[in-house]
Amino acid sequence: MSVIGESVPRVDAYDKAAGRTKYVDDLCDPHALVAKVLHANVAHAYVKSIDTSKAKALPGVVGVYTCFDVPEQPFPTAGHPWSTEVEHQDVCDRHLLTRHVRYYGDDVAAVVAEDEVTAKRALKLIQVEYDVLPFVLDVQEAMKDGAPLLHKKYPHNILAHTTNYHGDVESAIKEPGLIRVEGWYDTPTVQHCHIENASCFAYMENGRITVCASTQIPHIVRRIVAQALGIDWGMVRIIKPYIGGGFGDKQDALYEPLCAWLSMQVGGRCVRLACTREETFENCRVRHAIRYHLISWVKPDGTLVARKAECFSNQGAYTSHGHGVNAKGMNSIPQLYPCPNVACDSYTVYTNRQPGGAMRGYGMPQVIFALESHTEDIARKLGLDSLAYRRKTLMPVGFVDGFSKNELYSDTFNEVLTVGEKAMDYENKHRLYENQTGRYRKGVGCAVFWYNTAVWPIALETSGCRMVLNQDGSPQVQVGETEIGQGADTAIAQMTADAVGVPLSKVHVISCQDTDVTPYGTGAYASRQTYVVGMAIRGCAEEFKRKILESAFEYTRMQPYLMDIRDGNIVRTTDNRVLMSLGEFALTRLYDREHNEHLTAEKSTQIKTNAYSFGCCFAQVEVDTKLCRVKVEKIVNVHDAGKIINPALARAQVQGGMSMGIGYALSECMLYDQKTGRLLNGNLLDYKLSTVMDHPHLEVHFVENPEPTSAFGTKSLGEPPVIPVAPAIRNAILNATGVALNALPMRPHQLYPAFKDAGLIEELPDENKEAQHV
Amino acid sequence: MYDIEHLYEAKTVEEAVSLRLAYPDAVILAGGSDVLIKIRSGKLAGCDVISIYGIDALRGIHMEEDGTIVIGSLTSFSHITQDPIIEKNLRVLGEAVDKVGGPQIRAIGTIGGNTCNGVTSADSASTLLSYDAVVELTGPEGKRLLPLADFYLGPGKTDVREGEIQTSLRIPKESYEGHEGYYIKFGMRSAMEIATIGCSVNVALNDEKTALTDLRIAYGVAGPVPMRAKKTEEAFRTAELTCDTVKAIGESVLSDVHPRDSWRAPKNLREHLCRQMAEDALVMAVKRSGGVISGMPESDVPAKDFLDITMFPEAGLDPKEVAR
């Protein structure tokens, strides 16, 4: 019986529960030197000079290095597959330590010391002299003439401006009787808040540099470390052990290049560079804040005639993943709600804030908040049922995207909406909750999302797999795709068991990636892994089985095409007779004095497809209009992620995303001091990550329409769950109170003035007085 | 790794006093949930520390013959919440300190540390203040008592003098007898939170339960240190229990409080919260006392699950889901 679709326990569950699993910090030599980075306390400046003499004189300090010591060549950090076409390569704008400070907290110097306390004390002794420059934090301000310029090559700080135009908006909107709906929608900067901070250690061995890192993308980090250090790629070895979450933050080279370089400066001794939580907030990556301006022209029956979208993404100081995040969001607009006349513009703009990188959903939580809020507003304005309106205007079955060739094969949208509507009793509640009075008001809302799977054709898609037959007939499987807490190893084990034909207990997944020995795969991002590694495993297993069955001929006398491997046995397919166990075969073959053979297979698989993945969220809230609090009472996510390999793990994956979505909706945002550019709330007390106490039960349903292009029928599920949550909650608050909130997070700071404007809260006496004076 | 220059550990109050005299600049560490964070963040890096954590004599709660409740300064929040004397006589204090941080912090954090660090957001402070708690300090000359209100000198500053440590907090019988209270902590999430505004109200009612005979309103974060709404208390101490009274009290507290504009929350939101939370805590305290606010429709009565920072006590995994 196949284990595909079974909720088997995670292969790493027992060790993780028992605390035996080793992470980067557990593996580091306790005698390693400690590196600490000196972060700039200005938002924009040139470093004039750095005096390190006092720091160097402190006993226990091994070395102090500054932006004047590091290699000259700039390097990129984004966790994208390398492109051999220069114009598609990531922007090289980072140095290990920088002379041009571009955000408050930028890295200007580093200390290597015998211990952490000494390293921290040495940081305080470094004296930096800056030529301070004006800075800019807001995208619209950064695009203005005369704004402080971050990178000389990019006038008006615009890293990229791309468009998606078709039809003719200007002519189309002349049609009489059209209704125009316009809105501005704002999304905040948020952080991933993975449990394990960014951490690495590096040492030299036989002239090569090894970095053990908490990363999602070991093979890509290898390339970036080599680029940053200006050495041959083969001189770098990256080891990725178990990691405590990444959510895209670790789909970037973070401090691995600097750590490697520092080790090389101290004779190859092991150097540990572990970010504090504050550094993870301030110096790693964030989700881009993107501001949207949407205008739609619709007929009274809701038919979409024309649509304009402007998307302004705050890139922060460095390119990292750059414009790809914004462009992905923009390009989804005309796919999710096809429209004959579309004019979309997206701008990605540098500002003096920390760089935006990849984060779960890669631009989609932002654009879907805007688009699904806007869609609700359109339906409301037209007096249409918003669910029926969505069913009418969403991407139809059979839709094919010209660029990706993605196709909507099944009636997914109607199916997920039906499941969600029923689970929430949405239609009844939505009517019931209109026009409430009183302090406490309930509401329901819904939102759909668009996503794809993997990165083809934007970038290369490839996945490698190696299988080795042990003496007991158990296969070892090794892939380049990484377990980052999401359960990849378990899915890999299940797919391997199915593809090879052995019991799950026989499959040994090598979890750790080591670029010296792990087949090439690009890692955990783009919700790609189950899809692409499934193809790699299937392809490799075919080869592995072919080799086994060809060799088995010697012992069974049966033609390979008359045999198969089932449940750990070699069977004759014509009569299903068990000929020998795989264990018996493996032992016999390995120690065969005439024809010994160590049976292995290895295959690198290129993938040239992609797949649509859709779903929806239904949320029910109760709002305390006096205390400006929103309680999520019930929330339901419905996903069509194709065939589900492990329902329990998939459900957990969705619940994690819903939790992240609730925080995005109601409480999370990074706040910057307008006077200095400093991040104000870069810690887990002041950054309001939502807790389990803020959640109701997180209800999850799947609609399983197997994806035709996928080896196991799967498509993306890792990122999608976070995407539709915030607009569903926003639409529920609208249903409850009649107040349309167009900025996230919908925290009391925003609810209070909005409820006051709506007459739900009395003005303060002072405010009345002030108003009278004016 | 914490940057501590010297660590001195006291096992008795006498040892603590002599260490305080010997090392006047050393930081006193009780539970450590504030001091260790400040050392880690660099604010107190390289400091000397006198740990009083080991003075077990300062742990526990007892009642003196005259009914005074004495809480040893090292008593942890979770201890206070579960203590039978507190549950019976001063449950609002047990509830207030149960809203501090998370379970780990409540197990390590002490009420002495919470008051000595002088922060306005301390969850214990507004309730202690509303019950006219008295601070006991022990120094080279012996014990010194002073009202908690006078103990606060300014933000982060309390009246702990040379050679002294705080040894207990005392609640006189007349403060709690016949009173019922309610504490509301307003935060941006339902756990692991610091108060945006904290409001503790307690009342005593007449025999008919139609009017107040005593009213105390205390706030955290409504000013630089925990504070009482004295003008409002004076004006409404014996007011009739009507909807108009509740509303008037809400308006009146605005003349008592003076919250700050900060990036954590704007002044006008905090003022509004002071107003609304006074009304809500009052209604809840009256309800606990068996009183009814005349003319208040049921739909306007505050819903307890919205007032409590812990919105979803039943949250977590659905047992059905786990079983599957």
Confidence of residue A1 (pLDDT cuts 50, 70, 90): low
The pLDDT value given to residue B22: 98
B-interface mutation test, from A626, A679, A750, most B Cβ less than 10 A away: A626
Across the interface, which of A693, A747, A752 has its CB nearest the CB of B272?
Answer: A752
Q: Do A696 and B299 touch (CB under 8 A)?
A: no
Q: How far is residue B184's CA from residue A624's CA, in Å, rounded to a whole number?
A: 14
ipTM > 0.90 for the complex: yes
Whether residue B321 lies inside any domain: the answer is no
Q: Where in chain A is the domain with CATH 3.30.365.10?
A: 136-190+287-384, 412-445+612-774, 462-606
The arithmetic mean of pLDDT across residues A185-207, rounded, is: 98
Residue from A726, A736, A10 nearest A372 by CA:
A726
First-to-last alpha carbon distance for chain A, in angstroms, is 77
Residues B184, B168 share a domain: no
Distance from CA of B287 to the nearest CA of A (A): 18
Q: How far is residue B35's CA from residue A474's CA, in Å, rounded to a whole number?
A: 54
Q: Do A117 and B275 touch (CB under 8 A)?
A: no
> Which residues share a beta bridge with A570?
A565, A580
Q: Which of B151, B172, B193 corresponds to the end of one domain? A: B172
Residues B188, B301 share a domain: yes
> For residue A643, is it left (φ>0), alpha (ψ between -120 and 50) or beta?
beta
Tens digits of per-residue pLDDT, B264-289?
999 999 999 999 999 999 999 999 99
Tens digits of per-residue pLDDT, A31-87?
999 999 999 999 999 999 999 999 999 999 999 999 999 999 999 999 999 999 999
Q: Which of B138, B172, B206 corresponds to the end of one domain? A: B172
**Which residues does A445 contact at the CB level (< 8 Å), separation at least 6?**
A376, A618, A619, A621, A727, A728, A729, A730, A731, A732, A733, A734, A735
Q: Residue for token digits 């493996």?
A: A586
Residue B186 at interface with chain A, using a CB cutoff of 8 Å: yes
Residue B323 at interface with chain A, using a CB cutoff of 8 Å: no
Residues B99, B40 share a domain: no
Q: Residue for token digits 């090569």?
A: A208
Q: Which two tokens stand for residue A71?
A: 């290699």
Show the beta-strand stretches assigned E in A299-351: 304-316, 341-350
pLDDT of B297 strictly over 90: no
> Which residues share a beta bridge with A637?
A617, A700
Across the interface, which of B3, B310, B324 has its CB nearest the CB of A693?
Answer: B310
The average confidence (pLDDT) of chain B is 93
The arithmetic mean of pLDDT across residues B232-252, rounded, is: 97
In B, minimum Cα distance to A626 occurs at: B276
What's domain A462-606's architecture?
2-Layer Sandwich (3.30)
Q: Which helix (DSSP H) or strand (DSSP E) does residue A601 occupy?
A: strand A600-606
The arithmetic mean of pLDDT across residues A578-603, rounded, is: 97
Tens digits of per-residue pLDDT, B70-104?
999 999 999 999 999 999 999 999 999 999 999 99
pTM of the prediction?
0.97
The arithmetic mean of pLDDT across residues A4-13, rounded, is: 97
Q: Which two tokens stand for residue B145?
A: 């008592």
Residues B88, B161 share a domain: yes
Q: What is the 3-state secondary structure (H, E, C) of A141-210?
A: HHCCCCCCCCCCCCHHHEEEEEEEEECCHHHHCCCCCCEEEEEEEECCCECCCCCCCCEEEEEEECCEEE
Distance from CA of B84 to the nearest CA of A (A): 27
Distance from CA of B322 to the nearest CA of A (A): 9
Q: Do A764 and B305 touch (CB under 8 A)?
A: no
pLDDT of A618 strictly over 60: yes
Q: Which two tokens stand for residue B39?
A: 């050392």
Residue B189 at interface with chain A, using a CB cutoff of 8 Å: yes
The pLDDT value given to residue A278: 97
Q: Was domain A136-190+287-384 assigned CATH 2.40.30.20? A: no
How far from A227 is each of A71, A96, A218, A268, A358, CA to CA, in Å?
10, 11, 14, 18, 20
A-interface mutation test, from B308, B321, B322, B324, most A Cβ less than 10 A away: B321
Angle of CA points A233, A238, A239, to nearest 5°: 160
The average confidence (pLDDT) of chain A is 97
Give the domain CATH number at B36. Answer: 3.30.43.10
Whether residue B118 lies inside any domain: the answer is yes
Residues of B in contact with A694 (CB under 8 A): 189-191, 311-312
Q: Which two tokens stand for residue B169?
A: 């907090």
In B, minimum Cα distance to A679 occurs at: B263
Q: Which of B172, B190, B208 corresponds to the end of one domain? A: B172
Confidence of residue A765 (pLDDT cuts 50, 70, 90): confident
Q: How far is residue B222's CA from residue B271's CA, in Å, rounded to a whole number?
A: 8
Residues B158, B71 share a domain: yes
Q: Residue for token digits 């402007």?
A: A310
Q: How far is residue B216's CA from residue B196's CA, in Å, rounded to a whole number?
A: 20
**Which residues does A26 contact at the CB level (< 8 Å), separation at least 6?**
none
Tens digits of per-residue pLDDT, A506-564?
999 999 999 999 999 999 999 999 999 999 999 999 999 999 999 999 999 999 999 99
In sequence order, what DSSP letters do the residues of A398-453 get, joined into one string? T-B-TTT--B--S-HHHHHHHHHHHHHTHHHHHHHTTT--SSEEEEEEEEEEEE-S
Q: How far is residue A677's CA from residue A136's CA, in Å, rounded to a whole number?
A: 8
Q: How many DSSP H helices and E strands does chain B contain?
A: 15, 14
Whether residue B324 lies inside any domain: the answer is no
Q: Where in chain A is the domain with CATH 3.90.1170.50?
A: 14-133+192-283
Tens digits of per-residue pLDDT, A662-673?
999 999 999 999
Whether residue B242 lies inside any domain: the answer is yes
pLDDT of A730 strictly over 70: yes
Distance from CA of B310 to the nearest CA of A (A): 6
Q: Do A693 and B46 touch (CB under 8 A)?
A: no
Residues B100, B202 share a domain: no
pLDDT of B310 strictly over 90: no
Residues B64, B38 share a domain: no
Across the interface, which of B276, B305, B321 has its CB nearest the CB of A626?
Answer: B276
Confidence of residue B316 (pLDDT cuts 50, 70, 90): very low
**Whole domain around residue B240: which residue ranges?**
180-307
Confidence of residue A202 (pLDDT cuts 50, 70, 90): very high
Residues B158, B258 share a domain: no
The arithmetic mean of pLDDT across residues A180-198, rounded, is: 98
Q: Do B188 and A761 touch (CB under 8 A)?
A: no
Confidence of residue A149 (pLDDT cuts 50, 70, 90): very high
Q: How far is residue B100's CA from residue A690's CA, in Å, rounded to a whole number?
A: 16
Q: Do B45 and A748 touch (CB under 8 A)?
A: no
pLDDT of A442 strictly over 50: yes
Confidence of residue B309 (pLDDT cuts 50, 70, 90): low
Q: Do B189 and A686 touch (CB under 8 A)?
A: no
Residues B22, B98 share a domain: no
Q: Do B263 and A680 touch (CB under 8 A)?
A: yes
Q: Do B315 and A696 touch (CB under 8 A)?
A: yes
Confidence of residue B313 (pLDDT cuts 50, 70, 90): very low
Residue B207 at interface with chain A, using a CB cutoff of 8 Å: no
**Region A412-445+612-774: CATH code:** 3.30.365.10
Q: How far is residue B226's CA from residue B117's CA, in Å, rounded to a whole number?
A: 12
Residue from B222, B275, B235, B216 nearest B251 by CA:
B275
Q: How far is residue A152's CA from residue A137's CA, in Å, rounded to a whole number?
A: 17
Tens digits of per-residue pLDDT, A648-696?
999 999 999 999 999 999 999 999 999 999 999 999 999 999 998 899 9
Contact A641, A720 (CB under 8 A): yes
Across the interface, which of B190, B266, B277 has its CB nearest the CB of A694?
Answer: B190
What's domain A14-133+192-283's architecture?
Alpha-Beta Complex (3.90)
The arithmetic mean of pLDDT across residues A206-213, rounded, is: 98
pLDDT of B320 strictly over 70: no
Whether residue B265 lies inside any domain: the answer is yes
The arithmetic mean of pLDDT across residues A718-724, rounded, is: 98
Confidence of residue B306 (pLDDT cuts 50, 70, 90): confident
Total number of domains constituting chain B: 3
B246: Cα within 13 Å, side-chain hemisphere: 24
Give the domain CATH number at B274. Answer: 3.30.390.50
Distance from CA of B191 to the nearest CA of A (A): 6
B-interface mutation test, from A193, A666, A694, most B Cβ less than 10 A away: A694
Residue from B262, B131, B252, B130 nearest B196 by CA:
B262
Residues B233, B153 share a domain: no
What percent of chain A clears pLDDT 70, i.e. is strictly above it? 99
The pLDDT value given to residue A199: 98
A176 burial class (0-12, 13-18, 19+ CB within 10 angstroms)?
exposed
In A, minimum Cα distance to B272 occurs at: A764
Whether residue B276 lies inside any domain: the answer is yes
Tens digits of per-residue pLDDT, B176-215?
999 999 999 999 998 899 999 999 999 999 999 999 999 9
The pLDDT value given to residue A768: 52
Residues B273, B201 share a domain: yes
Q: Which two tokens stand for residue A292?
A: 């949207």
Residues of A in contact with B280 (CB under 8 A): 626-627
Distance from CA of A79 to the nearest CA of B (A): 31
Contact B54, B10 (CB under 8 A): yes
Residues B206, B129 share a domain: no
Residues of A in contact with B264 (CB under 8 A): 686
The sign one gets for the Cα dihedral A565, A567, A570, A572 is negative
Residues of B in contact with A438 (CB under 8 A): 299-300
Confidence of residue B298 (pLDDT cuts 50, 70, 90): confident
How far from A482 is each of A284, A491, A601, B162, CA to CA, in Å?
20, 11, 20, 58
A627: Cα within 13 Å, side-chain hemisphere: 31
